[in-house]
Structure 1
């Protein structure tokens, strides 16, 4: 399969194997993308829109020492109920709903974003697929694929009213030799509506980079567990 912002029907969702194979290929490709700014220690990269893409791709890479965050801590908040946790550290996310639990590794979520007027609220609905590889070096992968619920009236009722946006993303936590964790994320998106593409693309590097310190600040604010 090719990962893009094209929405998939619920009846045509990919298998774990298909999605992860496509993600692995994209992770490898991202190592050769054009380097952009480094923002608060987060490196950014980009790739122009290809023939099968609906929008350009953007990537961020950050490395975290165990004293900042362990693999277990990161996976607990990114590999499990990721959309619910994102609502806690991404200010624009106003509501999140679990639409359908398909399996232990596949869940459909809908996320409702609100912005400062005159920008209208946006609705993003995605299938999130997870994979945890406990062999050394450990890695955890999350793939988010845009989903169209309109064919299923029981599911579409979970969506809030708003302009329909679309995003696809791949995210990987990878244990490095020194015990640090590389957190790599690549995404392609469109907010929908009439926001000019150049405006969205111009701000993407900063937008995805700032999610890292937002996440870390939230993680460190949580009660310590024994």
Structure 2
């Protein structure tokens, strides 16, 4: 059976080759050119797109696209926060993330992380565990990618890793995030994701809020980044 990016989790022993994960991530982003355009957010600076659930998908896909000047952040600055220590940095600008834990570092470019989210009642806490594959292409145009795929730690032999997960309802997401340094010095930031919150939340409720949620990450990131931009310089 060939692997595809979806919310179906993989066990640590069955993680696909790094090159396969990156190639599938590029395919997803390329396919967004034919997705349905949705609303724009953040004063028209963030465009959303979506693709209905297809055979092999566990859920629908959603994407956002934005372009940024050096005043927002340079390519190196974006990559320093989104390509390095990504999970720990997301905890700083995504308020729902209360705890992130490194489960296993596989290599310099692959690691398993678990993230603990809390939400207003009556929604119970959620736990998302993913493998992050990170790749930086220094040729022109410089391009950085982070592909996150869901990981299942409930199998035999993974007990020690599973002990690092917080207690909560298991959610799942797959995402592809890409930064491209454009010729004019601007940075294109694109992200595509498919997810399920798990538990008893109806899928149509979760899906209806996705565009707004993923778009909000852009201004949240920039607001946080500008508070730390000049620290240590």
Structure 2 residues without counterparts, runs of 5 or longer: none
For residues 136-189 of structure 1, give each alpha carbon's deviation from its aligned partner in whole angstroms, at most 9, with x where no partner exists. Answer: 100000000000011201100000000000000000000112110000000000
d(CA) in 2 for partners of 1:142 and 1:148? 19
Equivalent residue number for residue 87 of structure 1: 91
Structure 1 residues without counterparts, runs of 5 or longer: none
For 1:23-42, what aligned pairs fall within 5 Å after superposition?
Answer: 23-40=25-42, 41-42=45-46
For the residue of structure 1 that corresponds to 2:167, the secondary structure is coil
Measure how far apart 1:81 and its partner are: 1.2
1:42–1:223 distance in 2 versus 1, CA, 3 Å: closer
Equivalent residue number for residue 161 of structure 2: 155
d(CA) in 1 for partners of 2:229 and 2:189? 23
Q: Say whether residues 1:100 and 2:99 are aligned partners.
A: no
d(CA) in 2 for partners of 1:32 and 1:144? 22
Equivalent residue number for residue 18 of structure 1: 20
Measure how far apart 1:75 and its partner are: 0.4
- Correspondent of 1:51 among 49, 55, 61: 55
For the residue of structure 1 that corresponds to 2:34, the secondary structure is coil
d(CA) in 2 for partners of 1:30 and 1:191? 23
For residues 177-220 of structure 1, give each alpha carbon's deviation from its aligned partner in whole angstroms, at most 9, with x where no partner exists. Answer: 21100000000000000001111111100000000000000000
Equivalent residue number for residue 129 of structure 1: 133
Measure how far apart 1:68 and its partner are: 1.3
Equivalent residue number for residue 141 of structure 1: 145
For the residue of structure 2 that corresponds to 1:148, the secondary structure is coil
d(CA) in 1 for partners of 2:90 and 2:72? 19
TM-score, normalised to structure 2's length? 0.96
d(CA) in 1 for partners of 2:33 and 2:95? 29
d(CA) in 2 for partners of 1:70 and 1:57? 28
d(CA) in 2 for partners of 1:200 and 1:212? 19
Equivalent residue number for residue 71 of structure 2: 67
Kindly report structure 1 stretches of 4+ aligned residues shifted beyond 2 Å. Answer: none
